[in-house]
Amino acid sequence: MANAIGAARGLAPVHLDQLYHLPNTDWEPRPGDEFIALHDQAIAGASWVMEGNYTRCLPQRLERATGFILLDTSTATSLVRYLRRCWFERNRIGGLDGGKDSVKWEMLHYIAATTRDNRKRYDEMFDGIKLPKIRLGSAREIGNFYRLQGLGR
C-alpha cells in the first residue's frame, strides 16, 4: 500500500523493515540506535509515506505525519499473507535487499500471538491519534480503499 500511495503522490515509500534489518542478511536486526537514526532521518523530509509499525518510534513519526492508516486484518489473513510472501513473492516490494523470505517460527508466533495480544493497545493508540485516520480491517476494506483512492496495485 505504501508503494501505491507513494506512486500516486510522487513519493518514494519508506519500508521500516528495510531500515530495521541489515541488508544482505537473513533479517538480522540493526543496532537499535542505528535504526532510530535511520527512521528519524526518513521522517525529517518534507513529505513521506511510510510502511511498518515499530511502536518505539511511533511518537516522533506521528508528530510529523499528516495522516495514519491502520491495517487491522484478522490473524488468519495476516498468516496467509505472510506465508504467500515467503513462498511466492521472493522479490516483493518492501523486502530486504539481498535477504531471503523464508517461513520463520518466530514470525509465525509474532503474527499468531503477539500481534493478536497487542490489538487492544493498538485500538487505544488509534483512538488517541488526532490526525486524519482510517482503520482497514479486511481484504475487502483494503480493496475498497485502493479503488476509492485511485491507487494501482
pTM: 0.87
Q: How far from the centroid of its chain's Cα atoms is residue 42's Cα? A: 14
Question: 42 near 74, Cβ under 8 Å?
Answer: no
Give CA–CA dist 22/127, Å, rounded. 33
**Eight-state DSSP code of residue 55:** G
Give the distance between the most distant pair of CA atoms in the chain: 40
**pLDDT score of 85:** 85
How many Å apart are CA 9 and CA 48, to the nearest integer? 9
Q: List the pLDDT tens digit at each of the 153 positions of the chain.
A: 999 999 999 999 999 999 999 998 888 999 999 999 999 999 999 999 999 989 999 999 999 999 999 999 999 998 998 898 888 877 777 777 777 778 889 989 999 988 878 888 888 999 999 999 999 999 899 999 999 999 987
pLDDT of residue 129: 95
- Taking the domains of the chain in order of start, what are their residue ranges? 2-149
Candidates 94, 114, 115, 86; CA nearest to 19 is 94
Per-residue model confidence (pLDDT) at position 153: 79
Please list, in sequence order, all residues whose beta carbon lies within 8 angstroms of the beta carbon of residue 7, skipping any fewer than 6 positions away.
Answer: 151, 152
- The pLDDT value recorded for residue 146 is 97
pLDDT at 15: 96
- In this prediction, residue 44 carries a pLDDT of 97
Per the DSSP assignment, residues forming a β-bridge with 20 are: none
Residues in the chain: 153
